[in-house]
């Protein structure tokens, strides 16, 4: 966080981190995501395409977990800023962090990142996981 910051913003960020951690409730979301030869292990923050292992960052894992907990639902940029990055709801944030992180994530998890099948963009609305994606234990 950049200084100065408000106590409300700090508390909102702490709450968001607790929601995403094991302390925030039972389960913690689906630990694996798989589709057509791609296996993503959210607990280990790694992706396997064929035999090749690719490491994910914590934030990339959080994005995938957030989407996997909302199957079939379109998640907006604002919702990701609040739910994954911990910004306060309604804050006007001028950053391309979400788009940049999703672009890097696609390069890691998509067999062909130019034609994504796992992490789909819904233009003007947000992102969602592809319909053939399976989430589970």
In this predicted model, what pLDDT tens digit does every residue of 79-125 receive, in sequence order?
999 999 988 888 788 889 999 999 999 999 998 878 899 999 999 99
Q: Does residue 2 fall inside a structural domain?
A: no
Q: Does residue 1 fall inside a structural domain?
A: no
Q: Does residue 111 fall inside a structural domain?
A: yes
- What pTM did the predictor assign? 0.76
The gap from C-alpha 23 to its chain's centroid, in whole angstroms, comes to 18
Write the CB contacts of 91 (distance below 8 Å, at least 6 apart in sequence).
9, 81
Q: Does residue 50 fall inside a structural domain?
A: yes
Residue 23 has a pLDDT of: 43
Q: How many structural domains does the chain have?
A: 1
Cβ neighbours of 112 (radius 10 Å): 8
Q: Give the range of the structural domain holding residue 37, as residue numbers without chain letter.
A: 7-136
Cβ neighbours of 76 (radius 10 Å): 15
**What is the residue whose two structure tokens read 């963009």?**
121
Q: Does residue 56 fall inside a structural domain?
A: yes
Q: Does residue 27 fall inside a structural domain?
A: yes
């Amino acid at each position: 966080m950049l200084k100065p910051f408000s106590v409300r913003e700090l508390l909102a960020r702490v709450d968001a981190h607790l929601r995403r951690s094991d302390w925030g409730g039972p389960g913690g979301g689906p630990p694996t995501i798989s589709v057509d030869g791609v296996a993503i292990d959210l607990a280990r923050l790694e992706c396997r395409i064929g035999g090749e292992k690719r490491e994910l960052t914590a934030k990339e894992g959080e994005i995938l977990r957030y989407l996997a907990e909302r199957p079939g639902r379109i998640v907006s940029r604002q919702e990701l800023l609040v739910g994954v990055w911990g910004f306060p709801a309604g804050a006007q944030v001028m950053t391309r962090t979400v788009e940049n992180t999703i672009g890097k994530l696609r390069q890691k998890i998509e067999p062909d990142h130019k034609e994504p099948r796992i992490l789909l963009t819904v233009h003007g609305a947000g992102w969602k996981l592809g319909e053939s994606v399976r989430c589970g234990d």
